[in-house]
Structure 1
Amino acid sequence: MKGSKPDNNVAAVQRLQDKIKGFPAGPGVYLMKDAQGNVIYVGKAKNLRSRVMTYFGPDAEEDPRIRDWIGLVCDVDYIETSDPISAMFTEARMIKDLRPKFNKYFKDDKTFPYLQIRTREEYPRVEVTRKPRSRGVRLYGPFTSAKRLRQAVHILQKLFQFRTCSLDIRSEEQRWRWFRPCLLYNIRRCTAPCNFRVTRQEYRRQIRKLIMVLEGKKDRLIHRLRQQMLAASERLDFEKAGRLRDEIAALEQLDLRGHLETDPQPEVFPIDPKKGLIGLKKVLGLSALPRTIEGIDIAHTSGRDTVASLVTFLDGLPFKPGYRRFRIRSVEGIDDYASIREVVSRRFRRLRDEEEVFPQLLLIDGGKGQLHAALQAFETLGLQPPCVVALAKQNEEIYRPGQSEPLVLSRHSAALRLLQYVRDEAHRFAQHYLNILRRKRITDEE
């Protein structure tokens, strides 16, 4: 290829093509690496195998978008996702974390937008924001496009007449009786709670209807708009039909969004990574900030397909290239303790053999028994463990070696929130792998 290094010859390209043939045909993110193993480009695809193969076809060197760097690629990896939307958010997350040399977008601090409803207000306002609040709101997103989201909100406002202003309206303040409503009231886009032209109960009913639409119950609404569009078309009122068509499309775009649990954007959530790390250093008595944290979780289906996940956080943020998944080999049935011993042994034996650096903090999902199982693995290997703790979900108790009583932190503690983030991400990743194996087993049985 043009611009290729001497060792990146036909045989090397053939090796990459052979590897890519084993990629899944579903959605995901791919990572291009140079000779030193550095990720130099990250991309997303609806079909990983097909998309990545195009980079190494006969016409690749003529593509002006990639010809300057494709010859530097010596390896390629992928991260499978559940759907194309998740692939988009994963791609953005990876680019922000890794800052690959040849990616142009997503390197800034800009985040995907959310739609939030301030439910604790007497007259809840509806907002499009990139900096959502942590409390007192119904939050939806992240959405893939701010423009499409605003279009959808514009249409929903015509239907439900909610306010989008920043006024702090309180029913006990009589000054609002003399407040002049804005233009949105005159064009029937808002019921003017700023002038008490709608009761609190009536306004909140409007908001409940909006929430129903945002939570998936919009089929009836779209059906009604389609009927209106067809009627307008039959009357040859093509302008109105076109407007209704666009409104339907905008409402359907509401489905193009991620989920708060599976597509987190650490930049916008109330977890402050730096505060979390400082808090962990203090409460765990560490000598330095735990810049590298690994979290382990076990998952199974009634004792079948037992798997483990390992997630890596760097400076308090997910580091996806460090994620690993394991099929448990030595355990029959349900035995979380034995499963933890196996995965900890496999992970740290490899780090030892390859002379890699241990994480500064290892988090186990579970309680005292799971913590003890992890420590047994280090003892069997003859290794000095890093700081190892377990986080029990029921009461969010932190178990530490040598301490009979768990550590209980405030639910608002930055240290606890960071541990919860690591634990929940490990759980999500384990469940995702378990679902893949379950689908594969069902397909094989059929």
Structure 2
Amino acid sequence: DLEFIVTASEWEAFLLENNLIKQFKPRYNTLLKDDKTYPYVKLTVKDRYPKAVFTRRPEKDGALYYGPFVPGWQAKKNLRILQEHFRVVTCKDPLDGSRLRPCLYYEMGQCYAPCIKGRVPPDQYAAVVEEARLFLEGRTADLREELHGRMLAAARRQDYEQAAHYRDLERAAEFLGGRQAVARPGEGHWEYFALYGGGEAWVIHGFVVVDGKVVDRRRWRFDQVELAGEDLLAAMLTRLYGNASVLPDGVVVSHEFQDLPLLERFLSERKGRRVRVLRPQRGERAALVATLVENARLEFDEHVDPSTVLGPLVESLGLEGAPRRIECFDISHSHGEATVASCVVWEEGRMQKSDYRHFNIKSVEGIDDFASMAEVVGRRYTRLLEEGGELPDLVLIDGGPGQVNAAHAALVRLLPDPPPMAGLAKREEWLFRPHEPAPIVLPKESPALHLLQQIRDEAHRFAIAAYRRRRATARIASPLLAVPGVGPITAKKL
């Protein structure tokens, strides 16, 4: 049976959906595995002596929750920093003053021992917790300014031991903040997200930027997702911020999605003031998003099975399935001189350099890329058939309709049922099928297109390298070698 709830507006439906997902945790929710176990750092600010503890379940108990941290070890790393540099309590001992002797952390200078009655005044410890809060929120500039002021005040009181402590803490805060790369000038807490992928596989990368510095990095990978990429990004952000206790002043995304205004309103309602959600087209924010996209692409290429991103090619090129082996051809020459061709092989996600071949064009005089392409394709597959080699699932040609039609004609003469073929034309980056003038236009951000471009560019590189070697050999060779009966030794004597 199907149950539904009627709401007064799209906005109410948006909030209801978020609440129901968190309440019932549907079994097939694609985001469930990515947000149920990520850890947080909990700061119990309501306690007389607050603690910083590791938790995986935020609650409405008056505490501050920082996170979720992706990967999870970052939460434990931050707890260690809070203990070593700020002396915030991170243990599970009760802080009721019942302990008689301080623990080892106190002896190591990593705790104020509020577990012992009268050891540290509550207001002094509260100041330490405030410093820790500034650190967790990434506001290291504010923290260093506060610590510097306390150092000077302690020095004026001639409390040099305390002044030295604040000095060391200021240096630690400067180090922790200085390790972050500068993102863009400005103030406030902004979070950036970039989406990359295709088919059922996607990668999302995020930066947390505070006062112009990247203070955190987040990463998510999704497999077997039935949502469109933009919808996945919207759903992930809704779930992420639905559980967060600290919300940013603004969010920057790489892709625009239908619920973007609703997400902006959702964040603004939760924060109590406006939170902007932007998709920049130019400027420094757009440059940072481009950096995130490139990071996401690199992780996608490294960890995601390439066959999952070739789905658009299956339908566009009429393939029986995602290609496992692709062979790509390119022609290189200079005004018809020393024309060579290359064949490179991509198989199951990797370039198979042991299968690369280059060909010196023999039957073509001058500039004729069409005839040169026909020759190299004919020679390649004649040899392959004679040796019983494996045919590719897709033949890729560096060129437009002319090169593709010439190569296809040569292949048909050898094989009545040849493997599928397509050409990838430079400049427009359009795909062409044999004898079909209309191009196939894949989105510029398509991972399938990017993969074909990488294979095509590798064929181009290999062809140029072979052409340069042949040209160099031809230019230093003696014309006497063309005389019948004259070999290298005789030519050298002459």
TM-score by length of 1: 0.42
TM-score by length of 2: 0.38
- Structure of larger gyration radius: 2
Structure with bigger RCO (C-alpha 8 Å, 6+ apart): 1
